Amino acid sequence: MRRLQRNIRLGTVVTTTDHKRERLIRMLRLALGQQKMGVRPIAGILHLFVYIGFVIINIEVLEIFIDGIFSTHRIFSFLGSFYNILIGSFEILAVLVIIGVILFYIRRNIISIPRFHKKELQGTPKKDANLILYAELVMMSLFLIMNACDGLLQYRDVAPYTKVGTFPISQWIAPIFTHCSTAVLIAIERTAWWLHIIGIFAFLNYLYYSKHLHILLAFPYTYYAPIKPKGALDNLDSVTKEVKLMLGMEQEITGEAQPDEPLPSFGADDIFQLSRVQLLSAYSCTECGRCTDECPANQTGKLLSPRKIMMDTRRRTQEVGKNIDTNGSFVSDDKKLLGDYITPEELWACTTCAACVEACPMEISPLSIIIEMRRYLVMEASTAPVALNKMMTQMENTSSPWGYNPAEREKTFL
């Protein structure tokens, strides 16, 4: 967590203390309420099963922890009939999670849904997604097996398996184990208990290296993301200052430059010029591909994939973090986010329509990162496309992107 925080803090500071009420509402709406997941009903419903199961079954996990520490058996059973409702709901949710996970696996690996077969999702990202699906399937199955054996041991009046709880799902699994001796039943139940809890701890440790980190980071990102229309662009303070100096609206401070005073920069060619919120968004990306699926540039065969923009930003941030871990501070590796990870061809394919932002369940903005790197290409590297350079030259000379004579503007448009 400390390394993750350090990596995000490599970005520039932006104001995130405004519009507190709007930020809180957005976080509750998008991160907690999953509002935009339902835009695609099938995926939305399946994700809801997994999401609610993940949240609610944590109560069962808490009971397992307490039982493990104090050698008790179903310590929450003092809740009486309400405990029966809890256990029953846990089991139903476990089955719904299993159904959701299996269908997610089929959608990702068997059905040819285009967004799951893009180039950037092959290799490690695909293995990562499937590994989490395997883990969830195994942990929910272990939970039901544990309950099935527990129920049989209760029926046989084996201490300390006192008769508590109802098992609407695992009671149908129990017949598989009825022929087992009591010693074998206890061994199976304890094995399922231990594997379940070890699996949870393993998942919690793996989480920070996985795209499933969005389980945690969806909340801070949806709170700290800018409050503005989705396609709105920010003015660069450095550009505004330069323009004011040129127009005589601001006096340049002369004198000896301070050694620690940074030179003004325009745009971004690496993660250090991106904001902390943008780096947080890269870590929060779920790699669901809805952004790429909706991108008109990608649909027409262009190289741009908004999902790849976010994944590349995260990969570069992680690489810089490893560099710092190795050397104590960042040592130049002759790499940049722009060029080594994201090409100009990808950037100029973007139409800035903001369809990617609208499609994202968390309203992450690949567009904002694209714009920052475009700014760098234009204002720092002077490598804008020929057509764009021509337009800007004509704007400078004639105040018209088409190069019309200003004196004949009215005549031209009539």
Same domain as 271, residue 308: yes
> Residue 405 above 70 pLDDT?
yes
- Which of the two residues, 28 and 406, has the higher pLDDT score? 28
Specify the pLDDT at position 401.
86
Specify the pLDDT at position 233.
85
200-255 pLDDT, tens digit per residue, is 889 889 988 898 899 899 999 999 999 988 888 888 777 888 788 888 887 766 55
Same domain as 187, residue 95: yes
Whether residue 196 lies inside any domain: the answer is yes
Whether residue 295 lies inside any domain: the answer is yes
Same domain as 108, residue 48: yes
252-306 pLDDT, tens digit per residue, is 665 555 555 566 678 899 999 999 999 999 999 999 999 999 999 999 999 999 9
Same domain as 278, residue 188: no
Name the β-bridge partners of 381.
none
Same domain as 333, residue 213: no
Mean of the per-residue pLDDT values of the chain? 89
How many CA atoms lie within 13 Å of 254's alpha carbon, on the beta-carbon side? 1
Same domain as 247, residue 208: no
> Residue 412 above 60 pLDDT?
no
Same domain as 365, residue 236: yes
Nearest C-alpha neighbor of 56 from the set 22, 25, 88: 88
pLDDT grade for 15, boundaries at 50, 70 and 90 = confident
Same domain as 148, residue 236: no
Range of the domain at 349: 227-252+263-383
Q: Match 């907690």 to its residue by tokens.
A: 32
Whether residue 297 lies inside any domain: the answer is yes
Whether residue 403 lies inside any domain: the answer is no
Helices 124-155 and 41-70 cross at an angle (nearest 10°) of 50
Specify the pLDDT at position 259.
56
Q: Match 């709007």 to its residue by tokens.
A: 22
Specify the pLDDT at position 131.
93
Which of 101-105, 192-196, 350-354, 392-396 is the least confident region?
A: 392-396
Whether residue 2 lies inside any domain: the answer is no
For the chain, percent of residues with pLDDT exceeding 70: 96
Whether residue 378 lies inside any domain: the answer is yes
3-state SS, residue 265 = coil
CATH number of the domain residue 303 falls in = 1.10.1060
H-helix segments, 30-80: 41-70
- As given in the structure block, the two tokens for residue 389 are 């350079």
Nearest C-alpha neighbor of 271 from the set 372, 195, 170: 372
pLDDT grade for 336, boundaries at 50, 70 and 90 = very high
- Which of the two residues, 57 and 160, has the higher pLDDT score? 160
Specify the pLDDT at position 260.
58
Whether residue 247 lies inside any domain: the answer is yes
- As given in the structure block, the two tokens for residue 194 are 């231990």
How many CA atoms lie within 13 Å of 131's alpha carbon, on the beta-carbon side? 15
Same domain as 93, residue 25: yes
Task: State the first-to-last Cα distance of the chain, in angstroms, to the nearest integer.
Answer: 63
Same domain as 106, residue 67: yes
92-140 pLDDT, tens digit per residue, is 999 999 999 999 999 999 988 888 989 999 899 999 999 999 999 999 9
Specify the pLDDT at position 231.
80
Same domain as 141, residue 97: yes
* Euclidean distance between CA atoms 29 and 35, whole angstroms: 6
Same domain as 319, residue 198: no
**Mean pLDDT, to the nearest integer, of 370-390?**
90
Which of 20-24, 142-146, 249-253 is the least confident region?
A: 249-253
**Mean pLDDT, to the nearest integer, of 151-175?**
89
**Mean pLDDT, to the nearest integer, of 334-339?**
94
Among left, alpha and beta (phi > 0; psi -120 to 50; other), residue 332 is: beta
Whether residue 411 lies inside any domain: the answer is no
**Mean pLDDT, to the nearest integer, of 12-29?**
93
Structural domain count, the chain: 2
Q: Determine which helix (DSSP H) or strand (DSSP E) holds 197, and give its type and residue range.
A: helix 182-206
Q: What angle do CA 232, 234, 239 make, to 5 degrees?
A: 145
* Euclidean distance between CA atoms 352 and 347, whole angstroms: 10
